[in-house]
Amino acid sequence: MQKQKLPAKYAPALAEYALDWLDLSAAVLIRFERCEWMLLAEQEISYLYVMLSGKAKVCMSDASGRNLLLCYYVSEGIMGDVELMMGRHEAISSVQAVSSVECIGLPLSVYAPALLSHLPFVLRAAKGLAIKLHDSVASTTEIILRPFEARLSSYLLQSAQGGVFSERLIDVAEQLGVSYRHLLRALKALCEEGVLEKRKDGYHVLKESELHKKATV
């Protein structure tokens, strides 16, 4: 994670969230590298994050510590809004950068009281929370009802960077709710079909159109 004082050129991005009135003297610009954890469930959350660029995935852990993917990725909006509205100081879910991520960080210790008392922001945050609820329900329904190959194909399309999928397969298996062996068999089958090719740096997507077809089953 890299952090610096928020440059003035980024301030206009807050207008979308009715935050253009804030004194930004305590705001920071934060950059996360690919695969870096932005939030960890049950650990302290220090900032309200406003996404500027990049992709991240949201996971919820069960009692044993295993992760389940709630939604495949987020590339815009606010993170930490659920905890802010609930008055929690620990993150409810874990968030990991899928690509390099850049966001504005608003220290909750400084800004939380002002944010919660500003109705336009609260209304905008409520809309964002409704969207997250919808996405969460849709993702859960997908995990329960859709064939695994379709879910895996969607995940590959959304997580591959420059046509290369290189995430830790043990983590992927947990997040998609299958065994590690099952995941390996599915990836091997896609390689045998010529959709993927396994190389030292990961799985290369050779036939993106075929993955799209499989993802829509």
- Between the alpha carbon of residue 92 and those of residues 3, 58, 61, 82, the distances in Å are 23, 10, 9, 8
Is the CB of residue 162 less than 8 Å from the CB of residue 205?
A: no
Q: How confident is the model at residue 197 (pLDDT cuts 50, 70, 90)?
A: very high
Q: Give the mean pLDDT of 169-176.
A: 85
Quick check: 45 pLDDT over 80? yes
Measured CA to CA, the distance from residue 192 to residue 198 in angstroms comes to 10
- Phi, psi angles (nearest 5°) of residue 151: -65, -40
Quick check: 192 pLDDT over 80? yes
The pTM score is: 0.75
Quick check: 217 pLDDT over 80? no
- Phi, psi angles (nearest 5°) of residue 49: -100, 130
pLDDT in tens, 59-107: 876 655 566 665 556 788 999 999 999 999 999 888 989 889 999 999 9
| Residue 139: closest CA among 149, 128, 151 | 151
**pLDDT of 69:** 63
